[in-house]
Homo-oligomer: A and B are copies of this chain.
């Protein structure tokens, strides 16, 4: 294969972002886009050279020229579309989470395995050069046996209450990225979580049944400990830090800032705030994840962030929610339910 031909299912913010990034890759061709409504997308699709625009994603699955699809539709549709796409022998890039239920996710993955297609889950942060370097350093033994993982992950502003009502809650829609990051940098499974959460940012979030501030501690299969803190609102920008401490040292990935400029006046020395949000911070990561996906599909090699990675992060998120609700640590069994 010299070129990979793609269909994009769902052309919301993230779908259109993937399109832009995919168009920078010479070996990629985007043939078709589907969404539930497409009228407002005509001009956009034309400007991107996309020839087919449809309200029926099954048109994409039925198109023999299309090698792979990007599933960027709402989470509630992921599991069903994954199965249909796999049955149609399409490789799949699916936004996280795969579903809100481990059963549904497992069911979808079973079909992926049966049909022997590839499925990459959109944990874009794995492709951030900072966090990837931490992972690489750990893998190379630069910090020795890991002892403590620390992740700080704070959004610059809360999502809308509408979003919160359907998001699955902080553990499932926000901290799930950190659970995946934990598994990624530590290269070990999480076997127990203990969650603390509260509402400090906006009472409306509490009224919507969610929390906005949380700290979760983790135990890993390799015996090490970890902690993640989340907030829905860091007024100074997107606070994204990862630290792995081990027997030989510590690796710390700090925030990224727009410039390196520091201004010193009588009032102090001031530098830029962290980059504002995920589109700014993870620009490179978003490009890298779709580039890597395309490359692996072209090469017929295994993608770097699989369905099982999606499943495990979802299971940790569920356990964290249970721990938060019961006030007790929750253990996570690691039977291998699926080998993808």
- Chain A interface residues (CB < 8 Å from chain B): 24, 26, 47, 129-130, 133-134, 137, 142-143, 145, 147-148, 150, 152, 154, 194, 196, 198, 200-201, 213-215, 217, 219, 223-227, 229, 231, 233-237, 239, 245, 247-274, 327-329
On whether the beta carbons of B260 and A130 are closer than 8 Å, the reply is yes
Q: Which residues of B contact A229 (CB under 8 A)?
A: 148, 150, 225, 227, 245
The answer for the CA separation of A264 and B196 in the assembled complex, in Å, is: 25
The answer for the CA separation of A234 and B144 in the assembled complex, in Å, is: 11
The answer for the CA separation of A142 and B236 in the assembled complex, in Å, is: 13
On whether the beta carbons of B259 and A252 are closer than 8 Å, the reply is no
Q: Known contacts A213-B148, A213-B225, A215-B217; decide if A250 and B271 are in contact (CB<8 Å).
A: no
Considering only CB atoms, which chain B residue lies closest to A235 in the complex? B266
Q: Which residues of B contact A214 (CB under 8 A)?
A: 225
On whether the beta carbons of A255 and B247 are closer than 8 Å, the reply is no
Nearest Cβ distance between residue A240 and chain B, in whole angstroms? 10
On whether the beta carbons of A217 and B236 are closer than 8 Å, the reply is no
Considering only CB atoms, which chain B residue lies closest to A230 in the complex? B148
Q: Known contacts A265-B142, A270-B268, A327-B329; decide if A250 and B236 are in contact (CB<8 Å).
A: yes
Considering only CB atoms, which chain B residue lies closest to A145 in the complex? B200
On whether the beta carbons of B272 and A269 are closer than 8 Å, the reply is yes
The answer for the CA separation of A273 and B266 in the assembled complex, in Å, is: 7
Q: Known contacts A148-B229, A235-B248, A248-B235; decide if A273 and B262 are in contact (CB<8 Å).
A: no
Could you write out 14 A-B pairs with CB less than 8 Å apart? A129-B258, A147-B213, A148-B213, A150-B152, A231-B245, A239-B245, A248-B266, A251-B263, A254-B260, A268-B270, A268-B272, A269-B272, A271-B271, A328-B328
The answer for the CA separation of A252 and B239 in the assembled complex, in Å, is: 13
Q: Known contacts A194-B217, A231-B147; decide if A252 and B262 are in contact (CB<8 Å).
A: yes
Considering only CB atoms, which chain B residue lies closest to A224 in the complex? B200
On whether the beta carbons of A264 and B253 are closer than 8 Å, the reply is no
Q: Which residues of B contact A249 (CB under 8 A)?
A: 235-236, 263-266
Nearest Cβ distance between residue A44 and chain B, in whole angstroms? 11
On whether the beta carbons of A245 and B26 are closer than 8 Å, the reply is no
Q: Which residues of B contact A250 (CB under 8 A)?
A: 234, 236, 239, 263-264
On whether the beta carbons of A198 and B225 are closer than 8 Å, the reply is yes
On whether the beta carbons of B262 and A236 are closer than 8 Å, the reply is no
